[in-house]
Structure 1
Amino acid sequence: MIKKTLTLLFILFSFVGFSQKIIEKELTSDILETTRKLRIYIPEGYELDSIKNYPLAVVLDEEYLFDTYVGSAVLFAKKDKAPQQIIVGVAMEETKVKDISFNRTNGQLNADSRYFYEFLRDEVIFYMESTYRTSPFISLVGHGYSGNLVSHFLKEDTAFINSFICINPSFSDFIGGELQSYNLAKFGKEDNTFYFYTNNASSFSPLKQEKISRVQKGLKGLSIKNFNVINDYIKTSSSVSAIAEAVPRAMTKIFEIYSAISKEEYDKNIKDLSPKDAIYYLESKYLEIEFLFGTNLGIRERDIYAIESIIIEKENGDRLKEFGQMILKLFPTSPLGEYYIGRYYETGKMYKKALKYYKIGYGKMDPADPNSDAYYENVLRLGGQ
């Protein structure tokens, strides 16, 4: 309980720091024939970089879920566990019954909720994408019956939502048949990545737990390429605390590819690869990060070091040159690309070429860099060759 309380307090105090970046907007809707309040979080540094794009998160139940999501997003970005996001919260407090209503006899959306669905799809997302620099990666977040509404976006013929986050979902009794009718196999044909997150919780009624469990088991058994099913279970005595836990747990999985290579990722996906395949894996990871999230990280040095032993110890280091070229492609300002190319030539006793690359790499370094002296030893070592 203490740990959970500290987590909530941390998020609360984090929110104090980003509150000034919230924009309030009254969006006029032709579909709803009224205006609807939006709260928009713009990440720190947005105005300073006119090229960088950001993933978009559309958060329903703005009156309470928005602050929780933004707090987690800020923390994850600061810890380099997720990209910065542009987040829009959609007000539903006074209209929620109509916005999430569905036919109790078949689970289909009622007229009011269909209009709200179209408002989200055709007006909110359009407004955000046309007004702000968003990347192609879109998350849709809902809680309770709003989570049920989120699941209906799976039926779109064109897959444009990347992550469907259903927190404490209250699904209709017909959710199983609805999911079967959505042709989920279409996600496997897309050159993209998709996530469907649901959480169960010990605080839910037995009936709700059983319904969510059936949905989770059914989706997990599909094994659709590119469609990642995240089934979560939270032990808690309160459905409110389950919300606070579910949001960061969903982000951990959805933005897993963005994070630096963990021991789990290395052991599962990398350690048994050949040098060529390890280089391809790392290059693909960063190209996908740039495509999905609009973030050109270059490449993290810790990820370079993560696969270094594979490149050096397997195949007699014959892939060192290829490794260096890949680094230069993704991270041209780093001296590590020239270092590995230089090491390749030095291993082959082509000392003049090795010295050339060592000098170029050293020239990129700041003299104040604590590693610069160690790097220069490569130049000194070959200077007399």
Structure 2
Amino acid sequence: MHKKLFLLLALIAPSILLSQTIYKSFNSNKMGGERQLKIQLPRNYEQNKDKSYPVLIVLDGDYLFEPVAGNVDYYSYWEDIPEMVVVGINQDRTRNSDALYDKETFLPTESGAAFFEFIGMELMPFLDTNYRTAPFRVIIGHDYTSNFINYYLLKENPLFKGYINLSPDLAPEMANRIVTSLSKAESPVWFYMATSSEDIPSLKERIIDFDIKLKQIDNKNIHYNFNNFDASTHYTLVGNAIPKAIENIFEVYRPISMNEYNRVLLQTSVSPYEYLVEKYEKIDDLFMLEKQVRLNDFMAVYNAIEKTERYDELHDLSKLAEKHYPKTMLATYFEARYDEEMGNPRQAMKSYQKAYGQEPIAFITIDFMLDKAQKIKDDFGY
């Protein structure tokens, strides 16, 4: 009986622990037929009933979906990026007609216009209706389809916030149109582009010229990143670019790094507490995700407060810790340290003692807290 139960758990565990991929035929009125989709849902999607997820649309899904979905799953596992719904559109037989543009206006026409409307008017509403999606959307394409994704950027209210351009084969006037659109953007836009030393020469030359123009844009709403990979071909650059693009777009979401700690938090002109609050407000505003403050980030900010001797901020940090880790000793420890540094040793001793019955967290254990209380008692003779 036990062996059978173990075998059953072994069989169902992957479906619980790993992300889910759904293969779906979507009947499109705009395209006049079925389109094949690959949809990767985050790990434990079914268990997190109240959670919504950003969406990443992958063109050339027949070969781009798996590397993109794999990177998203890996990075989100380590909480460097939010979990996402990744949707691949297979185009192995239709990419040329899907991305078709007029030879005079250089805008989507006929089947290209239909595909443009399919994504915006059929696919996205379908995803929003059937899955728990957040408004933050990213789209990715390669060469010809990379050119296509930027047509959404030319709309007054762009459908996507992030654009990942892998060696784009830009239509005439597209570079100038993108520069104009990004220069006027009134809300945040993430724009990533990549080429390589062994990319198709005609593409690489135009991409490098385009990069120069993009770097001249003076608009605080634009988050632009570019990579020119060494010794990569038009196809192998994709494997290098995908993780770089994902890192760039979701940089603010990542835990506070050692570089960030040294470069920002230890500056005496920066309030570590306010930096932490603003970081998570940005995550909430940008990705529509009310995320618990990471313990790593609490400790980074605490250490910065100690290093810069901004002890008055410990009180506010304690209040924030109480909200995010209410049953633990974290808030109690920060409050006790605040009382110590503010010249209230008796109150600090009581705060340390209050940890009795609370849950330990990180290095903060009951023995650690009671030792702190005893030291104050011994020093002041209470």
Unaligned runs of at least 5 residues, structure 2: 1-13
Post-superposition offset of 1:135 = 1.8
Deviations 1:241-294 (A, max 9, x none): 11111111111211211111123323443332446x321111111232234345
Q: Which residue does the alignment assign to 1:285? A: 279
Matches within 5 A, 1:1-385: 21-182=20-181, 184-187=182-185, 189-190=186-187, 193-274=188-269, 277-314=271-308, 317-366=311-360, 371-382=365-376, 385=382
One-letter amino acid of the structure 1 residue matched with residue 198 of structure 2: S
Alignment partners' CA distance in 2, 1:377 and 1:125: 57
Deviations 1:113-151 (A, max 9, x none): 111111111211111111111122211111111100111
Distance 1:310 1:366 in 2: 22
From the superposition, tell whether residues 106 and 333 of structure 1 become closer, same or farther in structure 2 (CA, over 3 Å).
Answer: farther
Q: Which amino acid aligns with 2:97?
A: K
Residue 197 of structure 1: SS of its match in structure 2?
strand
Question: Percent sequence identity over matched residues?
Answer: 26
Change (3 A) 1:222 1:237: closer
> What's the offset of the Cα at 1:158?
1.5
| Per-residue deviation, 1:196 | 0.4
SS in 2 for 1:303: helix
Confirm or deny: 8 A CA contact 1:104 1:172 kept in the other structure: no
Distance 2:324 2:159 in 1: 27
CA distance in 2, matches of 1:135, 1:168: 28
Give the SS at the match of 1:75: helix
Separation in structure 1 between the aligned mates of residue 314 and residue 26 of structure 2, nearest angstrom: 55
With over 3 angstroms needed to count, the CA separation of the structure-2 counterparts of 1:229 and 1:327, relative to structure 1, is same
- 8 Å contact from structure 2 (residues 100, 109) kept in 1: yes
**1:196 and 1:373, CA in 2 relative to 1: closer, same or farther beyond 3 A?**
same
TM-score, normalised on structure 1?
A: 0.86
* Other structure's SS at 1:340 match: helix
Letter paired with 1:310: A
Residue by residue over 1:286-312, the C-alpha shift from the partner in whole angstroms, topping out at 9 and shown as x without a partner, is 232234345444222222232324323
Change (3 A) 1:361 1:229: farther
Q: CA deviation at 1:366?
A: 4.4
Tell me, in whole angstroms, the C-alpha distance in 1 between the residues paired with 2:141 and 2:362.
49
- Number of aligned residue pairs: give it: 366
Change (3 A) 1:17 1:166: farther
Q: Is the 8 A contact 1:60 1:146 kept in 2?
A: yes
How far did 1:21 drift?
1.6
Distance 1:17 1:378, change over 3 A: same
Instruction: Go from structure 1 to structure 2 and tell me whether the alpha carbon gap of 1:357 and 1:309 turns closer, same or farther (over 3 Å shift).
Output: same
Task: State the secondary structure of the residue aligned to 2:252.
Answer: coil
Residue 315 and residue 304 in structure 1: after superposition, are their counterparts in 2 closer, same or farther (change >3 A)? same
Residue identity matched to 2:133: T
Native 8 Å contact 2:19 2:73 kept in 1 = no
Cα separation, 1, equivalents of 2:353 and 2:235? 59
Which runs of 5 or more structure 1 residues have no equivalent in the other structure? 1-14
Which structure: larger Rg? Answer: 2
Answer yes or no: is the 8 Å Cα contact 2:57–2:138 preserved in 1: yes
* Pair 1:220–1:330, CA change in 2 (3 A): farther
> Separation in 2 of the partners of 1:285 and 1:174?
37
> Match for 2:321: what amino acid?
I
For the residues of structure 2 that align with 1:305 and 1:239, how far apart are their CA atoms?
43
Contact 2:161 2:189 in 1 (8 A): yes
**Worse-matched range after superposition: 64-73 or 317-326:** 317-326
Residue 49 and residue 212 in structure 1: after superposition, are their counterparts in 2 closer, same or farther (change >3 A)? Answer: same
Distance 1:135 1:355, change over 3 A: farther
* Structure 1 SS opposite 2:231: coil
Measure the CA separation in 2 of the matches of 1:116 and 1:144: 17
1:5 is matched with which residue?
A: none
Contact between 1:28 and 1:36, CA under 8 Å: does it hold in 2? yes
1:330 Cα deviation from its structure 2 partner: 4.3
Residues 312 and 320 in structure 1, CA contact (< 8 A), matched pair in contact too: no
Distance of 2:231 and 2:16 partners within structure 1: 29
CA contact (8 A) 1:279 1:326 kept: no
